[in-house]
Amino acid sequence: MLRQSGKEFTLEMRDGRWQFRPVQNDKVRTAGHRFTWNQHNPYEDQPLRLRLQAQMSVDPWDAPGNIQLAGFRNDQEFTLDASAPGVHGSFHAVGDTMGIFTVESDGTSVREGSWIKWQKTFEPCLNLNEHQGLGVWVKGDGSGALLNLRTESPRHMSMGARGDHFIKLDFEGWRYFELVEIESTAFNDFLWPDEYHNVYNSYFYKVVFSCIDKFQVWINNVPAGQKTEVALRWVKALPLRNQTIKNPVVRVGRHQVTLPVKMSPGMYLELDQDCKLYSKEGKLLETVVPSGAIPVLQKGENKMEVEYRSGGSLTPRADVTVMIKGGN
């Protein structure tokens, strides 16, 4: 059972014996005062179990003092740096505010390794110590390709560390994204140039934000035989801000439960047989008494929603992990 790639299990005492029980932990990154998604439960009906962790917020995109990383004023701003075999693309600027990246794959490379990279360099390097988040408008084409906006430091300073920010292009039209956490968990779900497969460099070293010398636009997971096109408006580096989340409401279908807590970034709440709030260091802070009955996560598809009250004017952000158990 344990040799199955990607499968997870928990060890529980059942009928007087220790037994493995299959689990599925699905994490969703939520942003906004209300966020809705579809949650699949492959097992039997069960009470909702989840972990909710508050995350940092960022200043608004148009706030004064933000640093522009890409303005798309001319076709020379980005250079096509490299691509996987059989993947071709082009870039052009439109109207001094928008850049269009077009990609095609002939299928020579497998889809999860059909990548292409454009790059912009900064000399001297940019100091983004106080502007570690990104804000960007993205026009998706519904292709399912993966957009990766990456910041990098000189190799002699960062040893190849990457500042990856993933956006799945499974939508059409314009959407605004605030990108804060650097991607790591899904990086190995895709294939990249060989130089990025050094696991030690990938997960040990950190981007040196005081000296950012490269901003890159990657597109990966390109479907073969069709054109993928993504448009970006000005990309800006934004300051990170602490903002509290108050009294989150979790809904499953028509049923909801309110969690009466106040959470600052890094703190997390776990709802299982009981409900407990922890500090960002993992210290138990309090046992929380939910308001309302715990909703049931039914077998199959469930419409889920979280709603937050925030302690400020910025967009509240949190990670919600739905924890589903099988083997009842």
Both structure tokens of 260:
């009466």
Q: Give the DSSP letter of residue 200.
A: H
Mean pLDDT by 10 residues, the chain (328 residues): 87 90 93 94 96 95 94 94 96 92 96 96 96 96 96 89 92 95 84 72 83 97 95 96 94 96 96 95 96 95 93 88 89
CATH of 8-56+242-325, one of 2.60.120, 1.10.3470, 1.20.1250, 3.40.50: 2.60.120
* Cβ atoms < 10 Å from Cβ of 34: 12
Cα–Cα separations (whole angstroms), residue 51 to 10, 248, 274: 16, 12, 12
Convert the pLDDT of each residue in 6-20 to its tens digit. Answer: 889 999 898 899 999
Which pLDDT score is estimated for 197? Answer: 62
Check: CB of residue 239 under 8 Å from CB of residue 133: yes
Closest CA to 269 of 281, 279, 256: 279
What does pTM read for this prediction? 0.89
* Cβ atoms < 10 Å from Cβ of 134: 22
Amino acid identity of residue 194, one-letter, is D
Round to whole Å and give the CA distance between 148 and 117: 9
* Cβ atoms < 10 Å from Cβ of 156: 6
Q: Boundaries of CATH 2.60.120.260 in the chain? A: 67-240
Convert the pLDDT of each residue in 109-123 to its tens digit. Answer: 999 999 999 999 999
Both structure tokens of 58:
């960022």
Which pLDDT score is estimated for 203? Answer: 72
Q: Which CATH architecture has domain 67-240?
A: Sandwich (2.60)
- Prior bond to 290 cis, omega within 30? no
β pairing state of 212-220 and 116-126: antiparallel
Which pLDDT score is estimated for 251? Answer: 97
